[in-house]
Amino acid sequence: MIPVLIDCDTGIDDALALIYLAALHKRGEIQLFGATTTAGNVDVKQTAINTRWVLNQCGLPDIPVCSGQSEPKRVSLVTTPETHGDHGLGYINPGHVEISQIDWKQLWKEHLSNTATRLIVTGPATNLAAFGPIKNTTLMGGAYLYPGNTTPTAEWNTWVDPHAAKQAFAQAEHPIKVCSLGVTEQFTLNSESLSALISVLDSAPIAQFLPEMLRFYFEFHEAQGEGYLAQIHDLLTCMIALDKIEYQGRDTTIDVEADSALMRGTTVADIRGHWGRPANAHLIESADISGAHAELLRAVEGVFEPRE
C-alpha cells in the first residue's frame, strides 16, 4: 500500500479526487492517513467541513481531517463562489460536521517522516510552504506556455497564494511533481461520463449528491464558453501522483512571480536551462486522458457500502 496525505481546498474537483482516494484506500492500494486543508475555493473552515463530509459519505469517518493555514502568506484571501458555489460543493450544502482538533503540522510530521509517503497538494501551496521541503510531493498548479484561468498568465491555485508557491519551489530539496493547467484541463466530465460514474457507484451514498455538485460546475464552464462539462483538475493530479496512469514530463526549474500586480501568480519553467539552477520540479507535459477515465471507473466500482 502507498501511504498518502492529501492537502486540499475542497471544491468540486477536490471532492472527486477525495472519492477516488477513498476508493483506492478501500481497495487496499493506498493508505490514506489524513487530509489537511487550505483556504482557496472557500475559506479554510469550509474546506475542512467539505473534506470531512465527502470522506464521511465515502464511509471513511475515521480518517482525520484538519484545517491548515487560514490565509495566504502575504495577500488577502480570494475565494470562488462563482466557480464552486457558496459552500464549495456546487448546489450541495454539507451542513455541520465535526472537524478533528489535530494540529495539521503534527499530522504531517507523523506521516511524512516516512519518506515513502506521497503528499498530494490540490489547493494553494500555503501549507506546503509553511511546513518546509517534502519528498514525494505532487502539486496541482501553474500554467506553462498555456493561458491562465484566473489572469492571462496565472492559474488559480498559484494566483491565490503566489508567495507560498514561490517559496515551495525555492525550498524544494527534491523535484516537485507539477500537474499544470495545460494537462489537467484535458480531463473533463460531461453529462454522459457523469452518468457512467454514477452508474458504477450504484447505491453508494456519495452518488446521490454528484448530479447537483456537478450541475453547478457544468453551468460555470458553459458560461465560460467551455461547453456543458467540468474540468476535474485534482482527480487527474491524484492519478499522476500515484502513477496510476501513463504520463510524460521533464525535470526543470520553476519560479513564480509573486509581487507584480499584473503578473501575479505567473509560473515560469526554465526549459532551456538559462538560469543554471538545479531542477526543483518534474513538470508533467502530457497524460493518458482516456486511461484516466477508465481508471476512475475501475477504482470506484463495488467498493462503497450502499445507502441504508
pLDDT digits (tens, 9 = 90+) for 66-100: 999 999 999 999 999 999 999 999 999 999 998 98
Residue 107 lies in a domain: yes
Residue 307 lies in a domain: no
Residue 291 lies in a domain: yes
Q: Which residues are CB-contacts of 125 (< 8 A; sequence separation ≥ 6)?
A: 139, 141, 157, 158, 161, 164, 165, 167, 168
Residue 203 CB neighbours (<10 A): 11
pLDDT at residue 100 in the model = 84
What is the overall mean pLDDT for the chain? 97
Whole domain around residue 186: which residue ranges?
2-300
Quick one: which of 104, 165, 122, 96 has its CA closest to 16?
122
Please, which pLDDT band fits residue 101 given cuts at 50, 70 and 90? Answer: confident
Q: Is the pLDDT of residue 308 over 80?
A: no
CATH of the domain at 52: 3.90.245.10
Q: What percent of the chain has pLDDT over 90?
A: 97
| Residue 141 near residue 267 (C-beta atoms within 8 A) | yes
Residue 306 lies in a domain: no
227 by Cβ neighbours in 10 Å (0-12 / 13-18 / 19+) ranks as exposed
pLDDT at residue 307 in the model = 76
Question: Region 244-255: what's the mean pLDDT?
Answer: 98
Residue showing cell 491555485 = 157
164 by DSSP, 3-state: which? helix
Residue 247 CB neighbours (<10 A): 19
Residue 75 lies in a domain: yes
Q: Is the pLDDT of residue 201 over 90?
A: yes
Please, which pLDDT band fits residue 248 given cuts at 50, 70 and 90? Answer: very high
Task: For 12-29, write each residue's pLDDT tens digit.
Answer: 999 999 999 999 999 999
| Residue 265 near residue 165 (C-beta atoms within 8 A) | yes
Task: For 43-57, write each residue's pLDDT tens digit.
Answer: 999 999 999 999 999
How many domains does one find in the chain? 1
Residue 194 lies in a domain: yes
Please, which pLDDT band fits residue 273 given cuts at 50, 70 and 90? Answer: very high
